[in-house]
Amino acid sequence: MAPQPPARERLLDAAEDLAATQGVTTTPVDVILDRAQVSPATLYAHFGNKEGLITEALRRRLARWDTTWQECVDEAGTPEEKLLALFSALSRHRRSLTPSRWCVFLGVAAETPRPGQDLADTLAADTDLLTHRLEGLATALVEDGQARMLARQIILIYTGVLGMILRGAEVETATAEGRRIAALAVRSCTGPSESHLP
């Protein structure tokens, strides 16, 4: 029988799983402790409080998302495909971790109108990663000003995909449709002659 993970990892796993499927505010600390099979003292020793635990669980999830997305970008062959790799990364990410009802970061942000500074910074880091990477990838296709506009358009489409998943759409269907719409946004900036996407 495999040894049990350390208490810190069990707490992070429990917090991430429950935040993804049940929500933060509707999940009492006792439920997290029971899932992780640890005492309150262990949680407070490692994370200070529930928000500290949620913050660290989000940081770990963001690092995993960053890795998965970068892998999909690296696998893509053209600048257009690299920009649209966001959608294949979303599909792969959701298969590799606890599936969430939509986006754990958006869910926590919606449930936490007055987050502490560490949590606020972590939520902002997700948005910063999305914005800066898309803008950087878009600059291989269009001028800087247009790159920012194109990145914003793709973020809007991506957020719509997450919303459709929350409404019950199949992940693969929603991400494929999002990619097709984003490809149209790329074509609107680059012109049909420069895009090689179907």
Tokens matching residue 33: 């402790």
What is the 8-class DSSP label of residue 97? S
pLDDT tens per residue across all 198 residues of the chain: 667 899 999 999 999 999 888 999 889 999 999 999 999 999 999 999 999 999 999 999 999 999 999 999 999 999 999 999 999 999 999 888 777 888 999 999 999 999 999 999 999 999 999 999 999 999 999 998 899 999 999 999 999 999 999 999 999 999 999 999 999 999 999 875 444 444
The predicted pLDDT at position 100 comes to: 82
Tokens matching residue 103: 């986006």
CA-nearest of 112, 115, 10, 117 to 60 is 10
The predicted pLDDT at position 3 comes to: 79
The predicted pLDDT at position 192 comes to: 55
Q: How many helices (H) and strands (E) in the chain?
A: 9, 0
For residues 111-145, one letter each, b for 16 or more C-beta atoms within 10 angstroms of the residue's C-beta and e for the rest, the string is: ebeebeebbeebbebbeeebeebbbebbbebbeee
Q: pLDDT tens digits, residue range 126-178? A: 999 999 999 999 999 999 889 999 999 999 999 999 999 999 999 999 999 99
Whether residue 59 contacts residue 122, with contact meaning beta carbons closer than 8 Å, is answered with: yes
The predicted pLDDT at position 1 comes to: 66
Domains present along the chain, CATH in parentheses: 7-194 (1.10.357.10)
**What is the SS3 assignment for 191?**
coil
The single residue listed with the structure tokens 């506009």 is 149
The predicted pLDDT at position 4 comes to: 87
